[in-house]
């Protein structure tokens, strides 16, 4: 490095030194109004950001690649880089060029990295999705224990839970963190990356539980973590890794983290990654939000409410008291429509104060973050006045958080203007009358001319010289000028005590005064001084707000609770949903259940959704048969979704519902190749089925569709048969099992907990009509050939398939083999009916010939009637 440094400029030497300290990050090196990148960083950034690549100087006789982005637009470029997998080290100027020159003419401006920007450490609104959390997680193992901790530094939420290795992937699927911290050379890197999160590996010291406990105690300024709960060594290790990483990325400026909350594995319904994907809970199959259950039910009007709704949907509760309390809140708003509408209208004025507070704590905030808190405090007071005294306990607890902020509200109301600028450096956000010195500076800055004019009138009267003027030039600055004829008077007592002589010319004499010199200094410095005062006031207000972080955080959570409850009530009322009965039984009785996403989609096209019942109380397994396209998969999924909605505390799309607590939901509906791991569709299907059979307990709800279809017929049938028996005899769970293997319907006679059900269809003139009705009984056949025809297979193929099907069914009925007969007697190509020759074109009839000469628009009513009689004669 020494030889390298000898051949480079001082600035480039500084760059290389800082870059060497952050080799894994792209370095945004501040140079005036730009962040510049050099060498490999520049080449990568130019490609990723689609910006011009230039060069600056030479290094080792090679041109130095260079590119840059404007500081004022840097956030947009940061977002692009983060989404493309880069980490960015932001290097700022720690002093002004003028300050650097005081150390020497060629002194380099001091620079240092103030922040590492990574996927899990974003705080700016422009870099975040307002309606989703942005979690940073850490997984730790200590001896035989393991734990998962996660934090959203944009809101301060901090959680930890025991997490067995086998539960790691499902929990990451639930949380969808953007970045996961693992110990160096962790064996779980692929598991995390398969879930879509970025992986950051840290050294063993970051996960040291003993050092970590001290790190956490220092963070919260406590002598012991016992006040927050009883943590295992693995949990402390995971939390410590999170805090260590935040210290690294935030350069010691830690975000405002709430005390850690311990989550129990038994508190939430367990849903694995494959099931979440299959049910499209928070993301549709295509990866976006549109088409998911979340998008369908989200009626929230605030960002915090939307995030809380997603957390509830991703983590349905298994605690009956919690579910019933949430239901009660939704029911209250459902029954009080006027209050619900007023609540939602007022909540629309609420801002995302969680994220505003986090930015204020990290000193990345602007004036609008302060006004967001002020305006939200006003809305909270309005909401408090709306609420009656008979609220259910779940809501009344939240009501108390809405009030008690008068002191902070008064301060912000007096200090801030109604509509401040985006950036504190622009000034203009402190209200007039809040600070006397600031008002004086602004007056001088904005009304300097009028201040000088007032002084001119004052001095003219004092001197008795009406022609006295106050002027300005670049040499003297402000000065008082009179004609030479008044010189003697102006320089004689008592005026010479006020007016100080400065210059005499041929025709004029010039003076100044102590007061004029002071005003001149103030006017010249007023703009800069006003900005300086506002910055000081901003810092003071920021510290005051951060000191109130606890009550503000409680208020934010209360507003989110109201938003979710009112939004779910609005959904229930407008979509005709019902409040389900949730209890500790093993019941599962749905009357008139509907698929919420499909129903909403059909509404847009004006088609009705066919509702269906599902009863798994007396017989805990339904074996469902029926053709493709008849709605089996929709029926399976809708019942799983109803269970999820019920246990998140929402109402459900049905006429009535009773659901005994569901501990786990497993869904294996559809499968695809996993080529990256070398797995076929059938292998993926078997892996997912194995997970279900190995993990499902007697309180689970399992939905399985077409098990065994990816292999040979008898192999598939035998696997499906054995799977159903295992679910019935060993897992003893509630299940919906759809199949095309009609032979399995015999199991209903053998297994007491299995009932047959089918999706109804009708045949009409060779066509199959799907009724989408689920009823008890079995399907007589699969109607696969008819569905193939509907899909557009060539008519010759469809007809051939019918012939082959009839031969196979006949052979099965007669107990014989049909394969050789099909090959010998019905070879697929040799005996396929040749395409019919084109029919001979018939000569046109007399009627057709006459009609070709007719132009209807030219006919009068009388002529048209006459033509009709004529055509009738020609047709005879």
854 SS3 class = coil
| Phi, psi (deg, nearest 5) at residue 98 | -65, -40
- Alpha-carbon span 282 to 679, nearest angstrom: 26
Q: How far is CA 228 from the centre of its chain?
A: 29
Q: Sign of the CA dihedral 463, 466, 472, 473? A: negative
Dist. CA 538–CA 532, nearest whole Å: 10
Question: Is residue 627 part of an annotated ligand binding site?
Answer: yes
**CA–CA separation, 648 and 567 (whole Å):** 14
Is 631 annotated as belonging to a binding site? yes
Residue 791 CA, distance from chain mean position: 37
DSSP H helical ranges for 107-265:
165-175, 189-194, 209-220, 233-249
User: Contact 564/306 with Cβ under 8 angstroms?
Assistant: no
613 and 774 Cβ atoms separated by less than 8 Å: yes
Q: Which element (helix H / strand E) includes 625?
A: strand 621-625
Task: Give yes or no for a contact between 653 and 643, defined as CB atoms under 8 angstroms apart.
Answer: no
In the sheet that 62-70 helps form, which strands lie side by side, from edge to edge?
A: 54-59, 62-70, 34-38, 26-31, 88-93, 111-117
119/84 Cα distance (integer angstroms): 10
468-476 LR contacts (CB < 8 Å, sep 24+): 470/516, 476/502, 476/503, 476/510
Q: Is the distance from CB of 554 to CB of 401 less than 8 angstroms? A: yes
Judge whether 626 is annotated as a binding position.
yes
The candidate with the shortest Cα–Cα distance to 173, out of 314, 317, 304, 291, is: 314
- The 10 Å CB-count burial string (b at 16+, else e) for 846-862 is eeeeeeeeeeeeeeeee
- Give dist(CA 236, CA 517) in Å, integer: 64
> Residue 344 and residue 299: Cα distance in Å, rounded?
10
Beta strand pairing status for 500-504 and 508-512? antiparallel
The torsion angles phi and psi of 89, rounded to 5 degrees, stand at -100, 120
633 carries a ligand binding annotation: yes
Binding site as annotated, residues = 626-633
Binding site as annotated, residues for ATP = 626-633
């Amino acid at each position: 490095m020494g030889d390298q440094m000898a051949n480079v400029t001082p600035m480039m030497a500084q760059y290389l030194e800082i870059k060497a300290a952050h080799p894994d990050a792209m370095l945004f090196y501040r140079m005036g109004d730009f962040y510049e990148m050099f060498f490999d960083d520049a080449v990568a950034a130019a490609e990723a950001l689609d910006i011009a690549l230039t060069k600056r100087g030479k290094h080792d006789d090679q041109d130095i690649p260079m590119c840059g982005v404007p500081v004022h637009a840097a956030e947009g470029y940061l977002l692009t880089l983060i989404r493309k997998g880069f980490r960015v080290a932001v290097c700022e100027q720690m002093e002004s060029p003028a300050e650097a020159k005081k150390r020497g003419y060629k002194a380099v401006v001091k620079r240092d990295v103030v922040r590492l920007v990574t996927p899990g450490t974003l705080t700016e609104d422009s870099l975040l999705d307002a309606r989703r959390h942005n979690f940073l997680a850490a997984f730790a193992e200590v001896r035989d224990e393991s734990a998962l901790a996660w934090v959203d530094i944009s809101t301060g939420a901090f959680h930890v839970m025991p997490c067995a290795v086998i539960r790691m992937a499902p929990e990451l699927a639930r949380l969808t963190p953007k970045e996961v911290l693992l110990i160096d050379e962790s064996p779980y890197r692929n598991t995390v990356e398969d879930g879509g999160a970025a992986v950051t590996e840290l050294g063993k010291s970051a996960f040291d539980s003993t050092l970590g406990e001290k790190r956490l105690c220092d963070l919260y300024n406590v002598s012991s973590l016992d006040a927050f709960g009883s943590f295992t060594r693995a949990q402390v290790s995971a939390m410590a890794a999170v805090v260590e990483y935040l210290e690294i990325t935030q350069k010691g400026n830690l975000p405002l983290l709430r005390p850690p909350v311990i989550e129990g594995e038994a508190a939430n319904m367990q849903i694995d990654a494959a099931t979440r994907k299959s049910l499209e809970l928070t993301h549709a199959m295509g990866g976006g939000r549109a088409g998911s259950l979340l998008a369908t039910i989200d009626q929230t009007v605030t960002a915090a409410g939307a995030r809380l709704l997603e957390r509830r949907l991703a983590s349905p509760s298994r605690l009956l008291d919690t579910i019933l309390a949430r239901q009660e809140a939704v029911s209250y708003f459902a029954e009080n429509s006027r209050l619900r509408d007023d609540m939602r209208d007022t909540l629309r004025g609420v801002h995302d104060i969680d994220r505003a507070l986090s930015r204020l704590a990290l000193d990345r905030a602007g004036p609008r973050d302060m006004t967001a808190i002020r305006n939200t405090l006003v809305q909270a007071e309005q909401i408090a006045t709306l609420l009656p005294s008979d609220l259910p306990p779940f809501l009344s607890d939240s009501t108390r958080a809405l009030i008690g902020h008068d002191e902070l509200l008064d301060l912000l109301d007096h200090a801030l203007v109604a509509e401040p600028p985006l950036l504190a450096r622009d000034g203009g956000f402190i209200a007039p009358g809040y600070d006397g010195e600031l008002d004086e500076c602004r007056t001088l800055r904005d009304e300097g001319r009028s201040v000088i004019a007032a002084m001119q009138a004052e001095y003219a009267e004092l001197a008795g010289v009406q022609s006295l003027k106050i002027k300005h030039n670049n040499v003297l600055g402000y000065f008082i000028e009179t004609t030479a004829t008044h010189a003697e008077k102006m320089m004689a007592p008592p005026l010479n005590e006020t007016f100080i002589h400065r210059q005499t010319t041929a025709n004029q004499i010039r003076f100044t005064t102590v007061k004029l010199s002071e005003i001149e200094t103030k006017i010249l410095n007023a703009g800069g001084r006003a900005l300086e005062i506002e910055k000081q006031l901003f810092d003071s207000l920021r510290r005051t707000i951060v000191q109130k972080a606890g009550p503000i955080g409680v208020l934010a959570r209360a507003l989110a609770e109201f938003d979710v409850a009112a939004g779910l009530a609005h959904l229930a009322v407008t979509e005709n949903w019902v409040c389900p009965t949730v209890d500790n039984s093993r019941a599962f009785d749905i009357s008139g259940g509907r698929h919420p996403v499909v129903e909403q989609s059909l509404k847009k096209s004006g088609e009705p959704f066919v509702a269906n019942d599902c009863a798994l109380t007396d017989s805990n397994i339904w074996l469902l048969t029926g053709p493709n396209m008849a709605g089996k998969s929709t029926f399976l999924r809708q019942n799983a979704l109803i269970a999820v909605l019920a246990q998140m505390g929402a109402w459900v799309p049905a006429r009535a519902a009773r659901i005994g607590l569901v501990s786990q939901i497993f869904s294996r509906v559809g499968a695809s190749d996993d080529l990256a791991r070398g797995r076929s569709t059938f292998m993926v299907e078997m892996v997912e089925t194995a997970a279900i059979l190995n993990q499902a307990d007697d309180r689970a709800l399992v939905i399985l569709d077409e098990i065994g279809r990816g292999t040979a017929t008898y192999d598939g049938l035998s696997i499906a048969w054995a799977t159903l028996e295992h679910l019935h005899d060993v897992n003893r769970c509630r299940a919906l099992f759809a199949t095309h293997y009609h032979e399995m319907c015999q199991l209903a006679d053998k297994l007491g907990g299995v009932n047959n059900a089918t999706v109804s269809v009708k045949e009409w003139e060779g066509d199959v009509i799907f009724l989408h009705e689920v009823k008890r009984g079995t399907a007589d056949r699969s109607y696969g050939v008819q569905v193939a025809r509907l899909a557009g297979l060539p008519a010759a193929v469809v007809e051939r398939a019918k012939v082959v099907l009839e031969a196979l069914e006949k052979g099965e009925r007669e107990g014989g083999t049909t394969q050789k007969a099909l090959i010998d007697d019905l070879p697929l190509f040799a005996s396929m009916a040749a395409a019919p020759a084109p029919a001979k074109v018939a000569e046109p009839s007399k009627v057709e010939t006459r009609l070709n000469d007719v132009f209807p628009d030219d006919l009068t009513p009388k002529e048209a009637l006459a033509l009709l009689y004529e055509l009738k004669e020609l047709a005879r």
